Amino acid sequence: MSIQTILNRRFVFSIALVCASHGLAQESTSTPTATPSPYSAQTLTELKQLQQAALASDYAYRQVAHLSNNIGPRLTGSAQAQKAVEYVAAELKALGLEVQLEKVTVPHWVRGEETAALVEYPGMAEKTTQKIILTALGGSVATPASGLTAEVIVVRNFDELQSLGREKVAGKIVLFDYHFDKLMAVQGHGGEAYGEAVRYRGDGPSAAGKLGAVAALIRSVGGAEYRLPHTGQTNYAKDAPRIPAAAVTAEDADLLASLVPQGPVRMRLLLTPQQLPDAVSYNVIGDLKGSEHPEEVVIVSGHLDSWDLGTGAIDDGAGVAVSMQAANLIQQLHLRPKRTLRVVAWMNEENGLAGGKAYAEDHANDVANHFAAMETDGGAGHPLGINYSTKETKGLLEPVAKILQDSGAGILNFAEFAGGADLGPMTKLGVPGFSPIQDNRTYFHYHHTAADTLDKIVPRELAENAAVVAVTAYALANLEQPLPR
Amino acid sequence: MSIQTILNRRFVFSIALVCASHGLAQESTSTPTATPSPYSAQTLTELKQLQQAALASDYAYRQVAHLSNNIGPRLTGSAQAQKAVEYVAAELKALGLEVQLEKVTVPHWVRGEETAALVEYPGMAEKTTQKIILTALGGSVATPASGLTAEVIVVRNFDELQSLGREKVAGKIVLFDYHFDKLMAVQGHGGEAYGEAVRYRGDGPSAAGKLGAVAALIRSVGGAEYRLPHTGQTNYAKDAPRIPAAAVTAEDADLLASLVPQGPVRMRLLLTPQQLPDAVSYNVIGDLKGSEHPEEVVIVSGHLDSWDLGTGAIDDGAGVAVSMQAANLIQQLHLRPKRTLRVVAWMNEENGLAGGKAYAEDHANDVANHFAAMETDGGAGHPLGINYSTKETKGLLEPVAKILQDSGAGILNFAEFAGGADLGPMTKLGVPGFSPIQDNRTYFHYHHTAADTLDKIVPRELAENAAVVAVTAYALANLEQPLPR
Residue B287's alpha-carbon distances to B97, B369, B374, in angstroms, are: 5, 14, 14
CB neighbours (10 Å) of residue B32?
Answer: 4
In DSSP terms, B282 is beta-bridged to B103
- Residue A455 to residue B225, Cβ atoms within 8 A: yes
C-alpha–C-alpha distance, residues A179 and A219, integer Å: 7
Residue in B59, B64, B6 with CA at minimum distance from that of residue B310: B64
Q: Is the pLDDT assigned to residue A25 strictly greater than 70?
A: no
CB proximity B83 to A under 8 Å: yes
Buried b (16+ CB within 10 A) or exposed e, A208-231: bbbbbbbbbbbbbbbbbbbbbbbb
For residue A262, report the phi and psi dihedrals to the nearest 5 degrees. Answer: -85, -15
Q: Which amino acid is at B97?
A: L
- Tell me if chain B has a CB within 8 Å of the CB of A445: yes
SS3 for A299?
strand
Is 80 exceeded by the pLDDT of residue A24?
no
Give B 186-225 residues with CB within 8 A of chain A.
224-225
Measured between beta carbons, which residues in chain A are less than 8 angstroms from residue B262? 70
- For residue range A455-469, list pLDDT tens digits in order: 999 999 999 999 999
DSSP per position, B425-461? HHHHTT--EEEEEE--TTHHHHTTSTT-SGGGS-HHH
| ipTM (interface pTM) | 0.92
Compare B10 and A164 and report the one with higher pLDDT: A164
List chain A residues with CB under 8 Å of B453: 227, 251, 254-255
Instruction: Give the B window 106-135 contacts with A, CB below 8 Å.
Output: 121-128, 130-131, 133
B295 catalytically annotated: no
Q: Do B259 and A224 count as a contact with CB atoms less than 8 A apart?
A: no
How confident is the model at residue A437, as a pLDDT? 97
Task: Dump strand ranges (E) for A21-89.
Answer: none
Compute the average pLDDT of residues A354-374: 98
Predicted local distance difference test score (pLDDT) of residue A419 = 81
* pLDDT tens across the length of chain B (485 residues): 765 555 444 434 443 443 333 333 444 444 544 567 899 999 999 999 999 999 999 999 999 999 999 999 999 999 999 999 999 999 999 999 999 999 999 999 999 999 999 999 999 999 999 999 999 999 999 999 999 999 999 999 999 999 999 999 999 999 999 999 999 999 988 989 999 999 999 999 999 999 999 999 999 999 889 999 999 999 999 999 999 999 999 999 999 999 999 999 999 999 999 999 999 999 999 999 999 999 999 999 999 999 999 999 999 999 999 999 999 999 999 999 999 999 999 999 999 999 999 999 999 999 999 999 999 999 999 999 999 999 999 999 999 999 999 999 999 999 988 888 999 999 999 999 999 999 999 999 999 999 999 999 999 999 999 999 999 999 999 999 999 98
Residue-level pLDDT at A376? 98
- CB A420 within 8 Å of CB A5: yes
Tell me if A124 and B449 make a contact (CB, 8 A cut-off): no
* pLDDT at residue number A284: 98
pLDDT, residue A7, reads 46
pLDDT digits (tens, 9 = 90+) for A111-147: 999 999 999 999 999 999 999 999 999 999 999 999 9
**What's the pLDDT band for A92 if we cut at 50, 70, 90?**
very high
Interface touch A227/B133, C-beta < 8 Å: no
Beta-carbon separation of A227 and B449 below 8 A? yes
A315 φψ region: left (φ > 0), alpha (ψ -120 to 50), beta (else): beta
From B226, B228, B161, B170, select the one nearest B200 (Cα to Cα). B161
Closest CA to A258 of B480, B311, B119: B311
Q: How far apart are CA B312 and CA B88, in angstroms?
A: 15
Alpha helix (H) ranges present in B353-433? 354-362, 394-404, 424-428
* Calpha distance B80→A4 (Å, rounded): 45
Give the residue among B439, B435, B437, B436 at the shortest CA–CA distance from B457.
Answer: B439
Q: What is the CA radius of gyration of chain B?
A: 23
Nearest residue, CB atoms, A122 vs list B70, B80, B224: B70
